[in-house]
Amino acid sequence: MKQLTKDLAENQKKLDELLGVGRNYDVISRDLYIGAWKGRLYVIDGYGDDGVIERITSFLLGEGAALGRGASDMQEFINRCVTFCEVDCENQLENILTGAFLGKTILLLGCGDDYLTAISANLGKYPENVVAPYVPLEQMEGLIHKDRFYALCEQYGIDHPGTFVYTPDMGHDFTLPFPGPFAVKPSESATYWDHPFDTQRKAYILQTREEVEQVLDEIYAHGYEDAMIIQDFIPGGDENMRVLTCYSDGEGKVRLMCLGHVLLEEHTRHGAGNHAVIITEPNEELYETFRRFLEGEGYVGFSNFDIKYDPRDGKYKAFEINCRQGRSNYYVTGAGYNLARVLVEDRVEHKPRSLVLADRRNLWMAIPRKVAYDYIPKRLHGEMKALEKAGAYVNPLWYPADHALVHKLRVYRIQKRQFGWYAGSMEKPKD
């Protein structure tokens, strides 16, 4: 059994790795200097008791440093300095982790499609204290396969783009029911990425039938076997996109809905369509449409819809559902609707909660401000600046509680690269 050592840096490295510090936004840590001693404090964001944490840090950084001076070991230090909450003294790594989770409800969450299907396939096999807030695998596969999802959209009156489902047995013998340009993407994203090639893209925007055939041939030549989706391309830039994030409780009732107006996306080959700038905006009609869908299907857990406004007929059209929280979904928490809290209140604390329809406007940005303002149409700059001025703005990559130098340098490097990535993948708007 591994033990903590007398080397603080070594202990910190082990705990950071085990707790995922730097790989997620949930576990935060900070250095504590207690007189001549240095320590490390770990807290789960949103679920550390703020009052207790403040008392501990204030005391240890103040009179506690003098009170603890001369303590022969950690237990004596705890007895002297931490008398306002229950604290265990432990140096076995396994016992530390077991103690942290013993008697607790474990929430099992996946942030990628492969993880989701693995978790869903094993529902019913987890220990009693493990909660996996997902629908069964058969239902999940019926949702994430885009051709089946569009059939459900028809059933619930949800608008979606004109769609043709292509299967490899068709070869070049098929008729498209709409003219170009075309949007082409895999029906099943997880297995699509298992067959990489140099020109592979998340989605393709193609002008002609000949280009469609070339792309299909290349995709299937590299081993992908599932269907491809060919759609009528909806005109308009990134600013026509919307993202809807929802949470449905264990009984299948929707508890939270938050719509984001996407102002800018990524345009690199593998990142195309990933959100870069979002402003939250309410839309009661969309909320009600998708609430009926989720509750009608008995859906549970997080859901994330990609939607685009079609200026040709004034309708919002759904592209897909992700059966999880999306990579950009801190836009919801940043607007004041903490996704982790909603989940814990439902599945751990079993608190009743009425439906919340997010209506606070907030700016979420995961790229440098200059890049955002350079590539977002100028007609949208006014509201962006107004929200920034009002303090209704968040970039989750610059997390004030994370003081790790390596993390800051890594974020700085990635942010700096965004200038070149955008310059090489899209043109600046002319308006």
Predicted confidence (pLDDT) per residue in 8-18, tens digit: 889 888 888 88
Residue 115 in domain: no
Residue 219 in domain: yes
Residue 256 in domain: yes
Per-residue pLDDT at 54 exceeds 70: yes
pLDDT tens digits, residue range 380-395?
Answer: 999 999 999 999 999 9
247 and 228 in one domain?
A: no
pLDDT at 422: 87
294 and 311 in one domain?
A: yes
Q: Which of 92, 111, 128 is the last residue of a domain?
A: 92
The total of structural domains in the chain comes to: 3
Alpha-carbon distance 333 to 337, whole Å? 5
CATH code of 175's domain = 3.30.1490
The backbone torsions φ and ψ at residue 13, rounded to the nearest 5 degrees and listed phi first, read -60, -45
Residue 29 in domain: yes
Alpha-carbon distance 247 to 302, whole Å? 4
175 and 78 in one domain?
A: no
- Asked whether the beta carbons of 322 and 146 are under 8 A apart, the reply is no
- Asked whether the beta carbons of 277 and 369 are under 8 A apart, the reply is no
Q: What pTM did the predictor assign?
A: 0.76
266 and 228 in one domain?
A: no
Residues 210-229 have a mean pLDDT of: 94
What confidence tier does 219 reach under pLDDT thresholds 50, 70, 90? very high
Q: Which of 47, 64, 92 is the last residue of a domain?
A: 92
Task: Give the whole-number percent of the chain exceeding pLDDT 70.
Answer: 91
251 and 394 in one domain?
A: yes
Query: Domain range holding 206?
Result: 162-232
305 and 201 in one domain?
A: no
pLDDT tens digits, residue range 338-369?
Answer: 999 999 999 999 998 899 999 999 999 999 99
395 and 302 in one domain?
A: yes
Q: Which of 232, 263, 280 is the last residue of a domain?
A: 232
320 and 294 in one domain?
A: yes
Contacts of 124 (CB under 8 A, 6+ apart): none
